[in-house]
Amino acid sequence: MPKRVYFIPRKDDDFFNFQGSLVNKVVANKTTWAIPDAAVDALVSRRQEYEPLYHKSQVKQNRTSGDVFSHRDIRKTYEKEIREFVNAYIRYNPAITSDKKVEMSLTIRDTEPSPKPKINDIPVVYLEPKGGGDIEIYCRRETDQDRPSMHPDSDVIEVMFAMLPIHPPAQPGAVKRDGFPSPEECPEVRTSTKAHFIIQCGYKNSGQRFYGFFRWVNLTNPANSGVWSNAKTVVIA
């Protein structure tokens, strides 16, 4: 398979065959594809200018350095014009099927995203009180050592959190509780598309303790989301 830069072949012979096939298909289908005559004529004209210079540059025993330079110069110009032509009249043309575009060796973007697998990772989370009731959040994958990073199979990171007094007042008849609240007991929820973000708890909550649970979330298929982290806690400043 010819090596390509995007959809343009690198080697001179491959490019020669590619451009010839492309122009032939454009000329044969210009009416069906509703491509303006002026645009097609300009492409054909450039082909007619390019091909003699290509043939001349391929005869090693007779070519000059000037022949080689002229060929490289015209190919550079021709490549640029082909890219512009394809983007203007072919790539997004609804009259041209994907199969036809593939026949012209064009790159077809996949419009159906591949299903994301079940997320088994738990985010590594760091909390840093910033004052004014703000907490700066740093999340990363277990495999990433020292900088925030999103899981590639997640759409967002979800946080369920609660803000509770450090020393809650004793209530008559209350049962003493050990441990942290569970994610389901937390009244607050936030999501972020970035692994580094800030939760604004509000100045009035300064001095309270933040309890947060974090997980990677697949919005398209929530069943493939990750599991909750253990509680992450810090005193709100």
Mean pLDDT score of the chain? 88
Lowest model confidence (mean pLDDT) among 19-23, 35-39, 179-183, 228-232: 179-183
Q: Are 46 and 53 in contact (CB under 8 A)?
A: no
Domain residues of the chain, as ranges? Answer: 4-103, 124-235
**Predicted local confidence at residue 102, as pLDDT:** 85
Evaluated on CA atoms 70, 73, 75, 77, the torsion sign reads negative
Rounded distance between C-alpha atoms, residue 16 and residue 51, angstroms:
8
Rounded distance between C-alpha atoms, residue 233 and residue 179, angstroms:
12
Rounded distance between C-alpha atoms, residue 79 and residue 75, angstroms:
6
Q: Which DSSP letter does residue 206 get?
A: T
- pLDDT classification of 36: cutoffs 50, 70, 90: very high
Rounded distance between C-alpha atoms, residue 73 and residue 40, angstroms:
21
Lowest model confidence (mean pLDDT) among 137-141, 180-184, 204-208, 229-233: 180-184
Q: Is pLDDT of 169 > 70?
A: no
Cβ neighbours of residue 7 under 8 Å, at least 6 residues apart? 86, 105, 106, 107
Please state, in angstroms and as integers, the Cα–Cα distance from residue 71 to each residue in 45, 65, 237, following that order: 16, 10, 69
Which class in CATH covers the domain with range 124-235? mainly beta
Q: Is pLDDT of 168 > 70?
A: no
- pLDDT classification of 76: cutoffs 50, 70, 90: very high
Helix or strand run (H / E) with residue 212: strand 209-217
75-86 average pLDDT score: 94
**Predicted local confidence at residue 1, as pLDDT:** 42
pTM over 0.85: no
**Predicted local confidence at residue 23, as pLDDT:** 96
**Predicted local confidence at residue 225, as pLDDT:** 94
- pLDDT classification of 4: cutoffs 50, 70, 90: very low
Residues making up the chain, counted from first to last: 237
Cβ neighbours of residue 33 under 8 Å, at least 6 residues apart? 26, 89, 90, 93, 95, 96
Cβ neighbours of residue 132 under 8 Å, at least 6 residues apart? 203, 206, 237
Rounded distance between C-alpha atoms, residue 192 and residue 32, angstroms:
47
Q: Is pLDDT of 3 > 50?
A: no
**Predicted local confidence at residue 34, as pLDDT:** 95
